[in-house]
C-alpha cells in the first residue's frame, strides 16, 4: 500500500524578481524579516511499518530508493517475508516453525535459523571495497533497514534455541535482564510488544545436541578471520554472552557426555580470546549474580579469580581496575574500592604457580604505570603494590622493581635498551613518584639506579634533550617523598654529589637514538692513542661545568634541610673531619675529588648563604671538631722518618693553614647572621668549648681573626640574653613545617603538592594546635579538593579523615555544614559526603551520640523534598541516601530517634517519585530499607519498627510487580527475599490475614 502523504498549505513566499539570474546569484534577503515556513509533510504511520514494498510498486519511507538484487538483499527479502510483520511475542514455537517451513523439531528449526545467520555472515564479507583497511573494518555491509530483520533473527535463535536448552538447568542470564533500557516496553533486543514472550523448554534429551549445534555455528562466526558485519554486530550486542553461556553449560552440566566436554575444553581458550576482557568480567559477574546451579557458579568463580592474571589479551589487571572502580561508567571514583582491587591481587589462587602469578602481576603493573595518562589506574596500581610491599617486599623487588633496574642499568650483554624502553622506564618512575608511595618502597626502587638516573640527567643536558625538566621533576619528587628518612635521604643526595660526573655504566653508555630520544648502547672501546693529560683535564673541567650547576639547580627545588645537610657533608669531607676522628690524608686525598667538593662548596655557599646561616648548630660542631683536631696535632707532632714524609707533612700543613682562615670566616658569618635569641643551649655549649681553642691559635694568618672572634664569643656567652628553650625550638620547627606544607601546596609538581598534604597530615597527627587551627586546616584541604589531579584528591581524603580523629566533635559539624550548604560546589559536597561515609564505616558501633544525630539529620535534610526550598541535585540526594543506609546498617541504635524519619523518606520516595529519571532514587530507597533490615537484625535491642512492617512489605511487593526499571525491581526482590530468610531465622508470625503483616524479633 503506498504511503499516505498530506501536504499542508504553506504561507505564500514572495516571488523572486525575473531580472535576477537565479542560477548564478542567490536572491538577497531581508535579515530583519521573519522566516517563512517550509513545507510540512504529514505521514500515515502505517505506511512506515509497511513491509510489503519489496513486492509492490509503491514505496514507504523505509524503502531504499534503489532496489538491489545482490544475494544478501535477496536473502533478507526472504527473511523479512517469513519473520517480520508481527511482534516477537506472536512468533511462538509453533508459529515460527510454520513461517520458516520444512521443519518439524526444535533442532531442525534452530539449525535452519543458524543456517540463515551463517549465510548472512558469508554474504556480508566486504568484497572489492576501496579505501584503507581501517575504513573497511569500520563499515557495516548490512543496510540500516535490514538490521531490524537481522535483530529479529538473532532474537528467534535466543528464544527458541538458547533459552529452551539453558533454562532446563537454570543457566544463563534471565530474559528480563536483557531489557535494561526500556523494561516496560521490553524486548530481548529492544523490540516492542515482547512482554508476553514465553520460553518453551525443550526435552532434556534435546539439550546436548541443541547446545552442540549452536556452539559449532556461533564458533564459526566468532572465529572467522574474514571481516564480517555479523561478527561485529553480535559482539556489540548480547550475542557473545549467549555463546559463552552455551560454552559454560557444555563444560559444566553433569549430564553432558565426556567427549563433548573434552572437545569444548580444547577450544575454550579460543572462546575467551574472542571478546575484550571487560566483557568477560561483565558476563562472568552477571552469571554469578543470576540464579544458577552450584557447579556452574563454582566454575565461573574460578575463571573470574584467574582473569586478571591470564586474560588472553594480557590486560586483566587493567580491566579489573576499570571494572571494580567503574571507570567506564562513572565520573566519580570511590577510593575505598582500591582495597577491593588490592585484595583480589593479593589473594593468589591455589591452582596457579606463585612465580607465574606474580610474574604476570609484575609485568602488567609495569605496563600500566608506563601509561601516565591514566592517573586513576596508576593510583590503584601503586596502592596495590604498596599493600603487597607491606606484606612481602621481596615479591615486589623480584617481579616488579628489578625490571626497572635492568632498563636503566643493564647487567648482561648486549647491554642494549631501546629508546622506547628507556622512555617507558622513565614514565614508570614518574607514575611512582606522583602517587607518593611509602618512602621505603620508593628508596628500594631508586637507590640501585640513582646514579644512572643522574647520569641520564647529565646526558640530556649535554645533548639539549627535551625531557630535562621531566627527569629533574622525578629526582625532586623522589627526594621530597623520602625526606622523612633523614639519614638515608641525605646519604642518597650526597652519593650524587660524590659521583656527580658519572657517565653511564661500566659496559654501556647513553646515546641518541634514531628518533632523537635517549637509548642505551654498549660502550665503545677507543682504539685511538691515549689522550694527553691536558685533554683529559679539559674534558674533566668541561664535565664539571655542566654537572655542578645541575646539582645546585636540583638543590634549589629541595627543602632547606637538604641544602644544609649536604653543605655540612661536603664541608666535613673537604676539611677531612668526620665526627671526632680525622681521616688520614694519604687515604682520602685526591685532587680531582677535592676540586669537585670545592666547586660544590662555592656554588652552595653562594646560592644558599642566607639559609645556611639559619642552622648554626652543625656548623659550630664542625668548627669545634676541626679546631680540636688542629690543637691535638700541634700538641703531639708526628715523627719524621724521611724526606718524602717531610714533604708530605709540609703539604698537609699548608692545606691546614689555608683552611683555618676559611673556617674562622665561617664562624664569623654564623655569629653575624644569627641573632642571639635564635641560639639554642647546645649552641652556647659549643661556643664555650670553642673559646680556649681560639685563644691557642698562633698562626700568623689567622691569629688576629681568632682573637677578634674570641672577644665576640666571650661577650655573647657572658651576656644577659637567654638561649632558646627546647619547647620554643619545637614550636619553631612546627611553624617551619607548616610554611613548607603551604609552599608545597602551591608547587606545580603533583608529587610536591601531595607531599605538602602529607606534611599537613603529620602536623594534624601531632595535634599541633599552637601552629594550625582546625578551621584553617579544613579550608586548606577543601581548596585542594578542587585540584583535578586524582593523586591530590586521594591525599585530601586521607587528610580530612585524619582531622576527624583529631577532634571528632568539632570536625563533624563542620563537614555536615559544608555537605548541606548550597554555597559550595556539587563536586566538593559529594567528596565531603564520601569522607562522612568512610567515617561512619570506621566508627562502626561507636557511631552514636550528638555527632551521629548531626550526620543523620544533615542527610535527611538533603533527601526530603519541599516546595519552599531549592531542588537538591539527584546525585547529592543519592549520596545522602547512601550515608543514611550505612548508618542504618552499621549501628541503627546510634540513630534510634530518626529511624522512623528515615523510613518515611524511603517510603515517600517509592510512592511519589515514580518517573524513569527518578529510578536511581527508588533504588537508593530500597537499599536503605534493606540496610535497616540487616542492621536491626544484628542489633538484638532494636527490632525493625513494628508500625512500618506491613507498609514496607506492601510497598516492596508493589514495586516488584509494577516498576518499569529492572534494577529497582531486582533490588525490591532481593529485599523481599532477605525478609523471608530472616523470617525463618529470627522472626515469628503473629495471627493476621497477611503472613508478614506483623513481624517480631524473637
Q: Which grid cell is 721? A: 640574653
Question: What would the mean pLDDT of 954-974 be, rounded to a whole number?
Answer: 88
Taking only the tens place, the pLDDT of each residue in 481-513 is 888 776 777 889 999 999 999 988 889 999 999
Band of pLDDT at residue 232, cut at 50, 70 and 90: confident
- What's the pLDDT band for 587 if we cut at 50, 70, 90? very low
In a domain, 635, yes or no: no
388 or 613: whose pLDDT is higher? 388
Question: CATH no. for residue 880?
Answer: 1.25.10
pLDDT band at 181 (very low <50, low <70, confident <90, very high): very low
Residue 67 banded pLDDT, cuts 50, 70, 90? low
pLDDT at 617 over 80: no
Q: Which three cell numbers stand for residue 9?
A: 498549505
User: DSSP class of residue 526?
Assistant: P
- Nearest alpha-carbon partner for 909 in 848, 971, 854: 971
**Domain range enclosing 819:** 807-1001
Confidence of residue 63 (pLDDT cuts 50, 70, 90): low
**What 3-state class would DSSP assign to 999?**
strand
pLDDT at 772: 77
Q: Give the helix ranges, DSSP H, for 849-918.
A: 849-863, 874-890, 899-912
Please give the pLDDT value at position 145. Answer: 83
Q: What is the structure's pLDDT at 450? A: 95
How confident is residue 59, by pLDDT bands cut at 50, 70 and 90? very low
pLDDT for the residue numbered 107: 93
User: pTM (2 decimals)?
Assistant: 0.75
Q: Return d(Cα 174, Cα 160) in angstroms, integer.
A: 15
Question: What confidence tens digit (pLDDT) does each residue in 207-219 have?
Answer: 999 999 999 999 9
Which range among 40-49, 421-430, 564-573, 595-604 shows the weakest confidence by mean pLDDT?
40-49
pLDDT over 50 (residue 861): yes
* DSSP β-bridge partners for residue 511: 519
The per-residue pLDDT for 868 is 61
Specify if 585 maps to a domain. Answer: no
- Report the distance separating Cα 669 and Cα 672, nearest Å: 5
Q: For residue 185, tell me if it sits in a domain.
A: no
pLDDT band at 744 (very low <50, low <70, confident <90, very high): confident
CA dist 597 to 538, 602, 652, 845, Å? Answer: 18, 9, 17, 61
Those residues whose C-beta lies under 8 Å from the C-beta of residue 33, and which sit 6 or more positions away, are: none
Does 280 have pLDDT greater than 80?
Answer: yes
**Domain annotation covers residue 414:** yes
Indicate if the pLDDT at residue 46 is higher than 60: no
Does residue 365 sit within a domain?
no
> Is the CB of residue 771 less than 8 Å from the CB of residue 763?
yes
Q: What is the per-residue DSSP string for 926-992?
A: HHHHHHHHHHHHT-TT-PPPHHHHHHHHHHHHHHHHH-S-HHHHHHHHHHHHHHHHHHHHHEEEPS-
Mean pLDDT, range 604-627, rounded to an integer: 76
pLDDT of residue 793: 77
Residue 883 has pLDDT above 80, yes or no: yes
Least confident of 425-434, 855-864, 908-917, 940-949: 940-949
849 belongs to a structural domain: yes
Output the pLDDT for position 804: 86
Instruction: Report the distance separating Cα 213 and Cα 666, nearest Å.
Output: 92
The pLDDT of residue 294 is above 80: yes
Domain stop point among 471, 499, 524: 524
Task: Supply the pLDDT for residue 586.
Answer: 41
DSSP state of 159: I
CB-based burial label for 563 (10 Å; 0-12, 13-18, 19+): buried
Are 794 and 337 in contact by the 8 Å Cβ rule? The answer is no
**Least trusted range by pLDDT, from 551-560, 706-715, 942-951:** 706-715
Of 41-45, 339-343, 972-976, least confident by mean pLDDT is 41-45
- 636-689 tens-digit pLDDT: 555 545 444 444 444 445 445 556 777 787 777 777 767 666 677 778 888 888
Give the lowest-confidence range in 159-173, 310-324, 692-706.
Answer: 692-706
pLDDT-based confidence at 778, cuts 50/70/90?
confident
Per-residue pLDDT tens for 511-546? 999 998 999 999 887 655 566 778 888 888 888 999
What pLDDT, on the 0 to 100 scale, is given for residue 61?
A: 46
For 374-402, what is the mean pLDDT? 94
Burial (Cβ within 10 Å: 0-12, 13-18, ≥19) of residue 676: middle
Domain boundary among 524, 542, 577: 524
C-alpha cell at 300: 565461573
For the cut 70, the answer to whether the pLDDT of residue 918 exceeds it is yes
Helix (H, G, I), strand (E, B) or coil at 753: helix
Tell me what pLDDT residue 471 has. 94
Q: How confident is the model at residue 157 (pLDDT cuts 50, 70, 90)?
A: very high
Contacts of 718 (CB under 8 A, 6+ apart): none
Going by C-beta distance under 8 Å and a sequence separation of 6 or more, which residues neighbour residue 798? 757, 761
How high is the mean pLDDT of the chain?
80
User: Of all residues in the chain, what percent carry a pLDDT higher than 90?
Assistant: 33
**Cα torsion at 663, 665, 670, 673 (round to 10°)?**
-160
Least confident of 83-97, 908-922, 973-987: 973-987
Which of residues 500, 524, 548 is at a domain's end?
524
Neighbour-count burial for 103-127, b at 16+ CB within 10 Å, e otherwise: beebbebbbebbebbbebbbbbeee
User: Does residue 414 have a cis peptide bond before it, meaning omega lies within 30 degrees of 0?
Assistant: yes
Which among 874, 860, 852, 962 has a CA at the least distance from the CA of 910? 962
Q: Is residue 657 part of a domain?
A: no
CB atoms within 10 A of CB 673: 14
- What pLDDT, on a 0 to 100 scale, did the predictor assign at position 906? 92
| 37 within a domain of the structure (yes/no) | yes
Give the pairing type, strands 577-578 and 581-582.
antiparallel
The span from the CA of 359 to the CA of 399, in Å, is 6
CA dist 200 → 94, 117, 167, 265, 650 (Å): 10, 22, 9, 29, 109
- Give Cβ neighbours of residue 95 (< 8 Å, ≥ 6 apart): none
DSSP state of 528: S
**Pairing assessment for the beta strands 508-512 and 518-522 based on DSSP bridges:** antiparallel
pLDDT at 636: 57
DSSP annotation of 484: G
Torsion sign over Cα 965, 970, 971, 973: positive
Query: Residue 377 burial by CB count (10 A; 0-12/13-18/19+): exposed, middle or buried?
Result: buried
Span 730-744, average pLDDT:
78
Instruction: For residue 582, report the phi and psi dihedrals to the nearest 5 degrees.
Output: -90, 145
Q: What is the DSSP letter of 519?
A: E
Of 380 and 768, the structure prediction assigns the larger pLDDT to 380
How many domains does the structure of the chain reveal?
3
Amino acid at each position: 500500500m503506498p504511503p499516505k502523504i498530506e501536504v499542508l498549505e504553506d504561507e505564500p513566499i514572495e516571488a523572486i524578481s525575473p531580472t535576477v539570474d537565479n542560477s548564478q546569484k542567490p536572491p538577497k534577503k531581508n535579515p530583519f524579516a521573519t522566516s517563512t515556513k517550509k513545507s510540512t509533510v504529514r505521514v500515515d504511520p502505517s505506511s512506515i511499518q509497511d513491509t510489503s514494498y519489496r513486492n509492490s510498486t509503491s514505496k514507504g519511507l523505509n524503502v531504499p530508493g534503489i532496489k538491489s538484487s545482490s544475494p544478501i538483499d535477496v536473502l533478507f527479502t526472504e527473511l523479512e517475508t517469513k519473520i517480520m510483520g508481527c511482534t516477537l511475542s506472536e512468533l511462538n514455537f509453533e508459529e515460527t516453525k510454520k513461517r520458516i517451513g520444512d521443519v518439524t523439531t526444535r533442532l531442525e528449526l534452530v539449525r535452519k535459523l543458524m543456517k540463515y545467520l551463517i549465510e548472512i555472515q558469508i554474504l556480508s564479507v566486504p568484497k572489492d571495497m576501496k579505501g584503507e583497511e581501517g575504513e573497511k573494518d569500520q563499515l557495516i555491509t548490512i543496510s540500516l533497514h535490514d538490521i531490524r530483520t537481522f535483530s529479529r533473527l538473532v532474537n528467534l535463535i535466543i528464544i527458541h534455541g538458547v533459552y529452551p536448552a539453558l533454562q532446563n538447568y537454570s543457566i544463563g542470564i534471565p530474559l528480563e535482564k536483557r531489557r535494561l533500557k526500556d523494561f516496560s516496553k521490553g524486548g530481548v533486543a529492544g523490540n516492542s510488544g515482547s512482554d508476553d514472550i514465553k520460553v518453551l523448554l525443550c526435552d532434556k534429551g534435546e539439550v546436548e545436541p541443541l547446545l552442540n549445534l549452536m556452539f559449532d555455528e556461533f564458533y564459526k562466526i566468532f572465529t572467522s578471520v574474514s571481516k564480517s558485519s555479523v561478527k561485529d554486530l553480535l559482539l556489540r550486542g548480547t550475542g557473545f554472552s549467549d555463546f559463552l553461556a552455551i560454552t559454560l553449560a557444555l563444560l559444566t552440566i553433569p549430564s553432558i557426555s565426556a567427549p563433548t566436554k573434552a572437545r569444548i575444553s580444547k577450544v575454550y581458550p579460543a572462546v575467551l580470546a574472542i571478546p575484550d576482557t571487560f566483557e568477560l568480567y561483565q558476563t562472568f559477574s552477571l552469571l554469578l549474580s543470576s540464579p544458577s546451579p552450584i557447579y556452574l557458579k563454582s566454575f565461573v568463580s574460578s575463571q573470574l579469580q584467574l582473569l586478571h592474571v591470564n586474560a588472553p589479551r594480557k590486560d586483566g589487571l587493567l580491566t579489573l581496575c576499570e571494572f571494580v572502580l567503574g571507570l567506564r561508567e562513572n565520573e566519580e571514583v570511590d577510593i575505598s574500592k582500591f582495597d577491593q582491587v588490592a585484595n583480589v591481587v593479593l589473594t593468589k589462587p591455589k591452582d596457579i604457580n606463585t612465580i607465574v602469578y606474580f610474574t604476570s602481576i609484575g609485568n602488567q603493573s609495569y605496563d600500566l604505570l608506563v601509561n601516565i595518562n591514566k592517573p586513576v589506574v596508576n593510583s590503584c596500581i601503586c596502592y596495590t603494590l604498596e599493600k603487597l610491599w607491606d606484606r612481602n617486599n621481596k615479591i615486589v623487588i623480584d617481579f616488579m622493581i628489578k625490571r626497572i633496574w635492568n632498563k636503566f642499568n643493564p647487567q648482561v650483554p648486549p647491554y642494549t635498551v631501546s629508546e622506547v624502553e628507556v622512555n617507558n622506564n622513565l614514565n614508570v618512575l614518574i607514575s611512582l613518584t606522583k602517587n607518593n608511595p611509602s618512602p621505603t618502597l620508593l628508596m628500594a626502587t631508586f637507590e640501585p639506579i640513582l646514579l644512572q638516573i643522574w647520569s641520564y640527567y647529565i646526558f640530556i643536558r649535554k645533548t639539549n634533550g627535551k625531557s630535562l625538566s621531566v627527569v629533574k621533576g622525578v629526582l625532586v619528587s623522589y627526594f621530597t617523598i623520602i625526606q622523612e628518612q633523614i639519614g638515608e635521604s641525605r646519604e642518597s643526595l650526597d652519593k650524587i654529589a660524590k659521583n656527580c660526573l658519572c657517565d653511564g655504566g661500566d659496559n654501556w653508555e647513553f646515546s641518541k637514538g634514531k628518533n632523537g630520544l635517549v637509548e642505551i648502547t654498549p660502550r665503545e672501546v677507543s682504539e685511538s692513542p691515549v689522550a694527553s693529560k691536558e685533554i683529559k683535564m679539559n674534558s674533566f673541567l668541561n664535565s664539571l661545568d655542566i654537572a655542578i650547576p645541575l646539582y645546585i639547580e636540583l638543590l634549589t627545588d629541595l627543602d632547606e634541610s637538604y641544602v644544609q645537610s649536604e653543605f655540612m657533608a661536603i664541608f666535613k669531607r673537604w676539611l677531612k673531619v668526620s665526627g671526632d676522628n680525622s681521616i688520614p690524608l694519604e687515604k682520602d686525598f685526591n685532587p680531582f675529588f677535592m676540586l669537585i667538593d670545592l666547586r660544590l662548596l662555592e656554588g652552595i655557599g653562594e646560592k644558599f648563604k642566607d639559609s645556611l646561616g639559619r642552622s648554626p648548630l652543625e656548623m659550630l660542631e664542625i668548627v669545634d671538631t676541626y679546631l680540636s683536631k688542629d690543637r691535638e696535632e700541634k700538641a703531639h707532632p708526628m715523627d719524621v722518618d724521611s724526606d718524602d714524609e717531610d714533604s708530605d707533612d709540609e703539604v698537609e700543613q699548608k692545606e691546614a693553614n689555608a683552611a683555618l682562615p676559611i673556617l674562622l670566616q665561617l664562624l664569623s658569618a654564623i655569629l653575624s647572621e644569627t641573632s642571639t635569641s635564635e641560639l639554642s643551649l647546645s649552641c652556647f655549649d659549643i661556643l664555650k668549648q670553642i673559646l680556649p681553642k681560639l685563644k691557642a691559635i698562633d698562626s700568623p694568618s689567622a691569629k688576629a681573626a681568632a682573637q677578634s672572634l674570641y672577644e665576640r664569643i666571650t661577650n655573647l656567652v657572658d651576656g644577659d640574653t637567654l638561649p632558646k628553650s627546647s619547647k620554643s625550638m619545637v614550636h619553631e620547627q612546627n611553624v617551619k613545617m607548616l610554611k613548607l606544607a603551604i609552599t608545597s601546596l602551591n608547587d606545580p609538581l603533583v608529587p610536591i603538592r601531595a607531599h605538602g598534604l602529607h606534611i599537613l597530615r603529620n602536623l594534624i597527627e601531632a595535634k599541633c594546635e599552637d601552629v594550625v587551627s582546625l578551621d584553617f586546616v579544613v579550608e586548606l584541604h577543601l581548596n585542594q579538593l578542587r585540584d583535578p589531579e586524582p593523586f591530590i584528591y586521594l591525599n585530601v581524603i586521607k587528610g580530612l579523615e585524619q582531622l576527624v580523629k583529631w577532634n571528632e566533635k568539632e570536625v563533624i559539624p563542620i563537614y555536615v555544614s559544608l555537605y548541606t550548604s548550597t554555597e559550595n560546589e556539587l563536586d566538593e559536597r559529594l567528596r565531603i559526603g564520601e569522607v562522612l561515609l568512610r567515617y561512619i564505616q570506621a566508627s562502626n558501633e561507636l557511631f552514636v551520640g550528638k555527632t551521629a544525630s548531626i550526620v543523620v539529620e544533615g542527610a535527611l535534610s538533603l533527601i526530603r523534598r519541599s516546595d519552599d526550598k531549592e531542588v537538591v541535585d539527584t546525585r547529592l540526594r543519592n549520596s545522602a541516601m547512601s550515608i543514611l543506609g550505612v548508618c542504618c546498617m552499621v549501628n541503627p541504635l546510634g540513630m534510634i530517634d530518626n529511624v522512623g524519619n528515615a523510613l518515611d523518606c524511603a517510603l515517600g520516595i517509592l510512592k511519589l517519585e515514580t518517573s524513569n529519571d527518578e529510578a536511581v532514587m527508588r533504588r537508593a530507597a530500597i537499599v536503605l530499607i534493606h540496610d535497616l533490615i540487616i542492621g536491626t537484625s544484628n542489633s538484638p535491642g532494636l527490632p525493625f519498627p513494628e508500625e512500618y512492617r506491613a507498609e514496607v512489605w506492601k510497598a516492596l511487593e508493589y514495586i516488584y510487580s509494577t516498576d518499569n526499571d529492572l534494577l529497582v525491581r531486582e533490588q525490591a526482590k532481593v529485599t523481599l527475599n532477605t525478609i523471608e530468610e530472616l523470617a525463618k531465622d529470627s522472626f515469628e508470625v503473629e495471627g493476621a490475614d497477611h503472613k508478614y503483616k506483623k513481624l517480631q524479633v524473637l
